[in-house]
Amino acid sequence: MVKIKFLGAAGTVTGSCYLLTADTGESVLIDCGLFQGVREIESLNYGALECEPKDLLGVVLTHAHLDHCGRLPLLAKKGLKAPIWMTAPTYDLTVLSLYDTAKINKEDKKGNTLYDENDVDEVIKHFKTVEYGQAFAVGAFSVIMRDAGHIIGSASLEIADTTASSGAKKIIFSGDLGNSPEPLVRPTEPVDSGDAVVMESTYGDKLHPKEDPAVKIGSEIAEIEKNGGTLLIPAFSIERSQELLHLISHLKRDGKVKSETKVYFDGPMGRSATEIFGKYEKYFNQELKDDLKTADPFSFPGLTVIERHEDSLRLSDNSEPKVIIAGSGMMTGGRILNHALVYLPIPSTKLLIVGYQGEGTLGRKILEGQKTILIKGKSVQVNASVSETQAMSSHADQAQLMKWIENIKGVKKVFLTHGEDGPRQVLKEKIRQELKITDISLPALNEELPV
């Protein structure tokens, strides 16, 4: 019987990693991501991997976000010999993400170095690319990637065990499912059939608001144009930053915000990710392809891309109305923290949260109303106005998750992962009541279950 061992994203939204073992004993790893959030969760990155990389027949990567790819270099350090399969955009973005993480590890004054650039060099040697819909073999398993619609190159997986004597013959891994229709990428591709489903549940208990994020962001920018303040937007370098640039380009083009208002895109990784996006037009949705015919969808008047750290620090010398887009998206590190130190105590500042904020992260604390926070050991008063929009989430909400799994015929067993316990418990009951599937598991970390 096929077995799955849940090596991450079990009761949390990060650390995605699943060990799939066939009747023959052959194993494949799905994702190998970083745990992110509070210190207790991040400490899991330094624990034993609970699998033998040298024995793996392959690794399949769903997409390039660090909570899915960020521990891959540890596999190379532990003797991985097998290929790591992914789409072409995921290849380029993962290379970018891993080198950036290695650089951050090197600069970590606490000495908690997970891996370095040499380890990234080694793991990249194992990378192999595959197209959506193209079947490939990994030992006893046949794998097909489908477009998950989450970020460019993201995939859901159809994995068939060609030797299974009992249990599931075809297992579906959702990966992270998109909030379709997305501003940049194509809609989530449906999966027709499967015996078992390993499914994300990030927003298993919520529906995204029907608001137009362009209206929200346009309103926030118009406010700082009036009061002379600064709009801070913490954003992940991959996908969310490009969505924001695309959206602001439309706002300026349509005259809904002033063309002269300065927008600072602060971070070399974000710039590099935007350049990678430009290589993969065939993965864009039709709206973005249409935009490309007349203009660069990620550029506009008043945009300045900040690369050097010293130039980032000097932004505080500029007292005119401005927008600063910087990472990290959950305010757990990166250049957004330098800006937060300066601007959060100022009442004319606006902080706009545009993505999921993990439990215990600084972004979550501010969003929940904490008025005194610690940044780099300094106590900071939050006098800025704080708002959010969930309409820009790149994760499917409860209704979209239900629609996706409803389409899969023959499902007998469901494993809910990549969600905090509250949301996945709510989604479990929703699936049980509406789809009449009774075999639904909420796996614990390092638990191994039969499929």
3-state secondary structure the chain: CCEEEECCCCCCCCCCCEEEECCCCCEEEECCCCCCCCHHHHHHHHCCCCCCHHHCCEEECCCCCHHHHCCHHHHHHCCCCCCEEECHHHHHHHHHHHHHHHHHHHHCCCCCCCCCHHHHHHHHCCEEECCCCCCEEECCEEEEEEECCCCCCCEEEEEEECCCCCCCCEEEECCCCCCCCCCCECCCCCCCECCEEEEECCECCCCCCCCCHHHHHHHHHHHHHHHCCEEEEECCCCCHHHHHHHHHHHHHHCCCCCCCCEEEEECHHHHHHHHHHCCCHHHECHHHHHHHCCCCCCCCCCEEEECCHHHHHHHHHCCCCEEEEECCCCCCCCCHHHHHHHHCCCCCCEEEECCCCCCCCHHHHHHCCCCEEEECCEEEECCCEEEECCCCCCCCEHHHHHHHHHCCECCCEEEEECCCHHHHHHHHHHHHHHHCCCEEECCCCCCEEEC
Measured CA to CA, the distance from residue 148 to residue 188 in angstroms comes to 5
Measured CA to CA, the distance from residue 65 to residue 62 in angstroms comes to 9
Measured CA to CA, the distance from residue 393 to residue 185 in angstroms comes to 13
Among 38-47, 92-101, 162-171, 213-222, the minimum mean pLDDT is found in: 162-171
Measured CA to CA, the distance from residue 339 to residue 313 in angstroms comes to 8
Section 2-11 average pLDDT: 96
Choose among 367, 307, 303, 372: nearest CA to 331.
367
Q: Strand 230-234 to strand 196-200: parallel, antiparallel, or no bridges (unpaired)?
A: unpaired
For residue 200, what are the CA distances in angstroms to 13, 235, 265, 362, 414?
A: 9, 21, 31, 23, 10
Residue type, 195: D
Class of CATH domain 213-388: alpha beta
Please write the tens of the pLDDT for every residue from 290-305.
Answer: 988 888 999 999 999 9
φ, ψ of residue 25 to 5 degrees: the values are 90, -5
- Mean of the per-residue pLDDT values of the chain: 94
Domain 3-206+394-450 has CATH 3.60.15.10: yes
pLDDT category at 23 given cuts 50, 70, 90 is: confident
Counting residues of the chain whose pLDDT is more than 90, the rounded percentage is 83
In this predicted structure, the answer to whether residue 185 has a pLDDT above a threshold of 60 is: yes
CA dihedral 422, 426, 431, 437 (to 10 degrees): 70
Q: What was the pLDDT predicted at 110?
A: 63
Please write the tens of the pLDDT for every residue from 76-111.
Answer: 999 999 999 999 999 999 999 999 999 888 776 566
Query: Which are the contacts of 320, defined by CB distance < 8 A and separation ≥ 6?
Result: 228, 262
Measured CA to CA, the distance from residue 140 to residue 21 in angstroms comes to 9
For residue 413, what are the CA distances in angstroms to 9, 148, 159, 398, 445?
A: 18, 21, 15, 18, 19
Choose among 132, 11, 56: nearest CA to 424.
11
Q: Could you tell me where in the chain the CATH 3.60.15.10 domains are found?
A: 3-206+394-450
pTM of the model: 0.92
* Higher-confidence position of 13 and 165: 13
Q: What was the pLDDT predicted at 257?
A: 96
**Residue 110 is encoded by which pair of tokens?**
């606490």
For residue 169, what are the CA distances in angstroms to 158, 249, 342?
A: 10, 47, 56
φ, ψ of residue 54 to 5 degrees: the values are -65, -20
For residue 379, what are the CA distances in angstroms to 353, 370, 382?
A: 21, 12, 10
Among 72-76, 254-258, 293-297, the minimum mean pLDDT is found in: 293-297
Q: Could you tell me where in the chain the CATH 3.40.50.10890 domains are found?
A: 213-388
Positive or negative: CA dihedral 394, 397, 401, 404: negative
Cis peptide before 241 (omega within 30 of 0): no
Measured CA to CA, the distance from residue 351 to residue 307 in angstroms comes to 22
Q: What was the pLDDT predicted at 37?
A: 78
Section 373-388 average pLDDT: 96
**Residue 133 is encoded by which pair of tokens?**
């819909």
pLDDT category at 360 given cuts 50, 70, 90 is: confident
Q: Strand 58-60 to strand 84-86: parallel, antiparallel, or no bridges (unpaired)?
A: parallel
Choose among 69, 88, 63, 214: nearest CA to 151.
63
